[in-house]
Amino acid sequence: MAAAQAGDRDALEALLRRHHDRLWALCRRLTGNHADAEDALQDALIAIARGIRRYDGRAAFTTWSYRVATNACLDELRRRRRRPVADVPETVGVGAAPEGVGGAVSAPPTAGAVDAVADRLDIDAALALLPQEFRAAVVLRDLCDLDYAEIGRVLGIPPGTVRSRIARGRSQLADLLGNPTDTPDRPSTRP
Partner 1 sequence: MTAARDPDDLASALLDGLLSDDEAAAARRDPAVAARLAELAAVRDAVRRQPRSPDPAARERGLAAALAAYDSPDEADLAGGGAVSPMRSARAARPAAPRTDTPWRPHGGARRRWLTAAAVVLAVVGVGILARNLDSGGDDDTSTAASESSSEGGESNAAADAGGGTDQTAPPSDGQLAIVDLGDVGSPAALAQRAAAMVAAGSSDASAGAAGGQAESGQGTAQAARPRSAACGDDAQAERLAAGGEPVVLRGRATLDGQPVDVWVVGASGDERVVAVDASCAVVVDQPLQD
Please report, as residue ranges, which positions from 41 to 60 form the binding site for partner 1 (by CB under 8 A): 41-43, 45-56
Our finding on whether 114 is near partner 1 (CB under 8 A) is yes
**Distance from the first to the final alpha carbon of the chain:** 36
Q: Radius of gyration over alpha carbons of the chain, in Å?
A: 17
Q: Give the Cβ contact number of residue 43 at 10 Å.
A: 19
Output the smallest distance, CB 29 to partner 1, in A.
Answer: 6
Binds partner 1 (CB under 8 A): choice among 62, 83, 85, 117: 117
Instruction: Return d(Cα 179, Cα 183) in angstroms, integer.
Output: 9
- The site for partner 1, by CB under 8 A, has a size of 91
Give dist(CA 1, CA 18) in Å, integer. 11
Contact 66, 144 (CB under 8 A): yes
Is 141 a binding residue for partner 1 by CB under 8 A? The answer is yes
User: Please, where are the H alpha helices in 120-158?
Assistant: 123-128, 132-142, 148-155
Give dist(CA 73, CA 78) in Å, integer: 9
Report the nearest approach of partner 1 to the CB of residue 129 (Å). 13
Task: Verify binding: residue 150, partner 1, rule CB under 8 A.
Answer: no
Any contact of residue 123 with partner 1 (CB under 8 A)?
Answer: yes
**Residue 103 in 3-state DSSP?**
coil
Site for partner 1, residues 64 to 103, rule: CB under 8 A: 64, 67-68, 71-72, 74-75, 78-79, 81, 90-98, 101-103
Residues 8-47 that bind partner 1 (CB under 8 A): 9, 12-13, 16-17, 20-21, 24-25, 28-29, 34-35, 37-39, 41-43, 45-47
Q: Does residue 174 interact with partner 1 by CB under 8 A?
A: yes
Shortest separation between residue 101's beta carbon and partner 1, angstroms? 8
